[in-house]
């Protein structure tokens, strides 16, 4: 079911207001490294392919990808996180500076290793590249007590001048429930919406306004299987809303789009924008939470914010690697197809 042109106009106004808003992101900053090689032959030593190195790129991933997406949407973004004194950390900071993103809230520490996810991609000349293996480099431990205290102080400072706080928790210790609690204690966050994306401990957070988990994360948190059961999905969403005392919840469902929950309203089922022949889902969740948070900060309702996040998610999965969506792409998508919902 497509929506009225008035709603399209309203969504357009929300996107156009992005440059007027400021969002603080507290997150686990990840470097996504892509190493490309052409298959030259099979090794004589073992039955493995030998790749001729062709290219290497390092782009922001995890919480850093959410930051990158906000910047490309035109939002004023204030990042808070930790990187190591290493090449991936330096490349992340360089990328932020290139986009004029302030880096004073990003702590650099010699004892910390920047989380780096290296994807090796192989292909023949002029063919699509396939991911062969992924190698993750992670710090031995979470950021130390001193670093966590500095994170909290920076986040409190930024949150006071922000329209929303985005928490991106990939489990590496820079965006824990304890850190959010410490920010809230003296951070005067009562009027600032807090939007959460947490891999494995969503229910451990308190004082959160909205969350954007994917369906498997909800299944893990609730200890249940949803499958294609609409009633079960609605029940799981209501349970998460109640347990976390949320005002809004968006559950992303891959090629099945997303479902938005708000207060006592009926859940809204939003079909995927564009083709369901997905090119790459890497980092799509970061794009979704960035767009959703930007829209909420700009005064959108839960359904309006979810619709814009759905457009952004549909655009980014058609791009290879960790990618972002620009303000212009979002406006163009809106012109191309009006927002839609599925009846139940």
Work out the percent of the chain whose per-residue pLDDT is above 70: 95
Q: Is 135 exposed, middle or buried (0-12, 13-18, 19+ CB in 10 A)?
A: exposed
195 and 208 Cβ atoms separated by less than 8 Å: yes
How many angstroms separate the CA atoms of 31 and 44, rounded? 33
Residues pairing with 27 in the sheet: 168
pLDDT band of 35, cuts 50, 70, 90: very high
271 and 257 Cβ atoms separated by less than 8 Å: yes
The chain-wide mean pLDDT, for the chain, equals 91
Read off the pLDDT of each residue in 125-129 and give the average, rounded to a whole number.
77
- Selecting among 28, 72, 109, 286, the annotated active-site residue is 286
Distances (CA, A) of 196 to 66, 105, 213: 12, 19, 8
What pLDDT does 316 receive? 83
pLDDT digits (tens, 9 = 90+) for 269-305: 999 887 666 555 666 889 999 999 999 999 999 999 9
Given a cut of 90, is residue 94 above it in pLDDT? yes
How many angstroms separate the CA atoms of 160 and 169, rounded? 21
pLDDT digits (tens, 9 = 90+) for 225-253: 998 899 999 999 999 999 999 999 999 99
Given a cut of 90, is residue 7 above it in pLDDT? no
Main-chain dihedrals φ then ψ at residue 145, nearest 5 degrees: -60, -40
Among the listed residues 260, 292, 271, 338, the one whose alpha carbon sits nearest the alpha carbon of residue 14: 292
Angle between helices 302-316 and 284-297 (to 10 degrees): 150
pLDDT band of 263, cuts 50, 70, 90: confident
286 tagged catalytic:
yes
Q: Domain-by-domain residue ranges, the chain?
A: 5-31+61-115+140-336
pTM to 2 decimals? 0.92
pLDDT digits (tens, 9 = 90+) for 186-224: 766 778 999 999 988 999 998 899 999 999 999 999 999
Given a cut of 80, is residue 183 above it in pLDDT? yes
CATH classification (class only), 5-31+61-115+140-336: alpha beta
């Amino acid at each position: 079911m497509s929506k009225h042109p008035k709603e399209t106009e309203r969504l357009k106004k929300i996107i156009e207001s992005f440059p007027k808003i400021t969002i603080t992101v507290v997150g686990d900053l990840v470097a996504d490294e892509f190493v490309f090689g052409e298959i030259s032959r099979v090794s004589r030593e073992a039955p493995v392919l030998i790749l001729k190195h062709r290219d290497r790129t390092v782009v922001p991933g995890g919480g850093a990808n959410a930051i990158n997406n906000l910047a490309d949407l035109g939002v004023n973004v204030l990042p808070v996180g930790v990187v190591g004194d290493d090449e991936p950390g330096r490349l992340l900071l360089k990328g932020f500076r290139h986009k004029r993103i302030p880096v004073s809230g990003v702590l650099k520490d010699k004892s910390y290793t920047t989380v780096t996810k290296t994807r090796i991609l192989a292909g023949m000349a002029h063919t699509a590249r396939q991911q062969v293996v992924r190698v993750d480099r992670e710090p031995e431990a979470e950021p130390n007590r001193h670093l966590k205290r500095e994170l909290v102080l920076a986040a409190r400072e930024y949150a006071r001048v922000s329209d929303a706080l985005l928490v991106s928790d990939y489990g590496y210790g820079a965006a824990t429930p304890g850190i959010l609690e410490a920010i809230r204690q003296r951070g005067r966050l009562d009027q600032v919406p807090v939007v959460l994306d947490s891999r494995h401990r969503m229910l451990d957070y308190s004082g959160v306004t909205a969350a954007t988990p994917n369906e498997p994360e909800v299944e893990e948190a609730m200890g249940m299987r949803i499958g294609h059961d609409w009633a079960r999905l609605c029940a799981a969403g209501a349970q998460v809303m109640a347990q976390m005392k949320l005002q809004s919840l968006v559950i992303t469902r891959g090629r099945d789009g997303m479902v938005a929950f708000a207060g006592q309203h009926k859940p809204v089922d939003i079909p995927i924008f564009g083709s369901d022949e997905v090119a790459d889902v890497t980092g799509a969740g970061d794009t979704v939470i960035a767009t959703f948070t930007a829209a909420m900060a700009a005064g959108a309702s839960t359904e309006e914010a979810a619709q814009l996040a759905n457009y952004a998610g549909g655009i980014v999965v058609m791009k290879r690697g960790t990618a972002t969506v620009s303000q212009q792409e979002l406006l163009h998508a809106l012109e191309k197809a009006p927002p839609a919902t599925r009846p139940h």
